[in-house]
Chains A and B, each alone.
Chain A
Amino acid sequence: MAANPMYQFNVYRIGPEIKINNIDISFTNASLFMVISSLAILIIFNLGTKRSIIPNKIQLLAELSYSFISKMISDTAGSKAKPYFSFIFSLFMFVLFCNMFGMIPYSFTVTSHIIVTFVLAAFIFIGVTIIGFIKHGLGYLKLFVPSGVPMVLLPLIVVIEIISYLSRPISLSVRLFANMMAGHTMMKVFGGFVVSLGIVGGWLPLGFSVALTGLEILVAFLQAYVFAILTCIYLNDALNLHH
């Protein structure tokens, strides 16, 4: 069973079965890694709040990531997006830490599950839509009518815009989930090759595996960044109506 590259994505119960109103909310390995990631973020950033004029390493890390995300938000969504800074910061850090913890062998990657990424993306989608309607009222629907389009093409364009808008949560969630799943499956497959080819032929897939690990760490960071920056872009659409 362990040779199955998909086995690593199995979710299983840790501890007793918890049921509320016949709904199963048991603590699973996925929950465990969510808790670990959140705790790691909280510990690291809490250590980074030390009040000193010359920062130590952890403080520097915390402050650099703070200014990194703050700059990302102000670059993509402008100054109006400042109230949403802590949400995007939490989102980026949560996705990043879940991705990174997934890189530890025999660990579990929370973000490789479509349901997790979809809940995050759907929350962002609904939130952004609500923000857009609160800020612009029904004028937010102008988002679907780009300016400078010939009248003949308008019905088609509006339909396409609406579909593309509605597919945002899907694209956002599938992008992250598919990247994480594909990377981890590939690593597992190459790992399986190393075992099956043995000491004679296993060196090549081992080399690939090592290279893939580096690539996957890059992807783990990049996907968290993409997730956060797309959230910023959607937020930008809702806050500053350009069309």
Chain B
Amino acid sequence: MLKKIIFQFLALSLIFTYSAQSAESGGMPQLNPEFWISQIFWLVLTFGLLFIILSKFILPKISNNLETRKSQILENIETADKQREETEKKVKEFDKIINDTKVEAKNFFNSERQKVLDDINNKRLSLEKDIEKEIIKAEEEIDQLKKTSQEKVTKIAIETSSDLVKQLIGEDINKSSLSAIVEDLSKKEMEKHNGI
């Protein structure tokens, strides 16, 4: 601080010595007081007008512009945020819808498959039952046929054998004894045939 003051005094004294000299040699035109009043007058006039015009008309506009830009930027950021949130919501909804439809489709597919499978099963079961019935029937028929056929064969065998004997010997033989023999033979034959 002291240094500054000393410097200022030095500068001042320099100016004053210069001004003393300038009277003689013309030295620094700055120290010629001829136009000082004029310079002060024009400085006050121009600077005053500049200050008034700047402070009344131009600076408020600039500050206004800056404010509006700031507020607009804030507003834009706000709306952008809002829209982003909305988009996120929409995306979530969309995802949800897709998920739901997927689940629905899966459920539908599963239920339909189940239905078809059940249907097939039912049909197969009924078919199997029918087939079983048919088989049983057929087996019964076969059994009956077997029985009847054996009796018939025995009868035919007895008749043919009696006919043969009649032709060979020329007389009737007791039919009951003949049938006993034939039955015995056929039984043996049947056993052989059936592999018992």
Residues of A that sit less than 8 Å from B by CB: 6-7, 9-11, 13, 23-28, 30-31, 34-35, 37-38, 41-42, 45-46, 48-49, 51, 53, 59, 62-63, 66-67, 85-87, 89-90, 93-94, 110, 112-116, 119-120, 160, 163-164, 167, 170-171, 174, 177-178, 181
Contacts and interface: CB of A to CB of B under 8 A. Distances in A.
The residue among B26, B38, B68 with the most chain A CB atoms within 10 A of its own CB is B38
Interface in B42-95: 42-44, 46-47, 49-51, 53-55, 57-59, 61-63, 65-66, 68-69, 72
A23 B40 CA distance: 12
B51 A86 contact: yes
Contacts of A93: 50, 54
A6 B54 contact: no
B2 interface: yes
B29 A9 contact: yes
Interface of B: 1-2, 4-5, 8, 11-12, 15, 26-32, 34-44, 46-47, 49-51, 53-55, 57-59, 61-63, 65-66, 68-69, 72
Contacts of A24: 34-35, 37-38
Given A9-B28, A48-B62, A114-B31, A89 B42 contact: no
B38 A26 contact: yes
Contacts of A119: 39-40, 43-44
A89 B2 CA distance: 31
Contacts of B44: 119
B35 A164 contact: no
B29 A31 contact: no
A206 to B, nearest CB: 26
- Interface SS of chain B: helix, strand, loop or mixed? helix
Contacts of B59: 45, 66, 85-86, 89
Given A49-B58, A49-B62, A87 B38 contact: no
- Interface SS of chain A: helix, strand, loop or mixed? helix
27 contacts: A7-B29, A11-B29, A11-B38, A24-B34, A26-B38, A30-B38, A31-B39, A31-B42, A34-B47, A35-B46, A42-B50, A42-B58, A59-B65, A66-B59, A66-B63, A86-B59, A89-B59, A90-B47, A90-B54, A110-B43, A114-B30, A114-B31, A160-B1, A160-B5, A163-B5, A178-B11, A181-B30
A148 to B, nearest CB: 16
Nearest to B54: A90
- Of all A-B residue pairs in the complex, the 3 with the closest CB atoms, nearest first, are A86-B55, A31-B42, A49-B61
Contacts of B65: 49, 51, 59, 63
B46 to A, nearest CB: 4
Contact of A27 (B27, B32, B42, B47): B42
Contact of A116 (B43, B49, B53): B43
Contacts of A25: 37-38, 41-42
B79 to A, nearest CB: 14
A41 B62 contact: no
A59 B59 CA distance: 12
Contacts of B8: 167, 170-171, 174
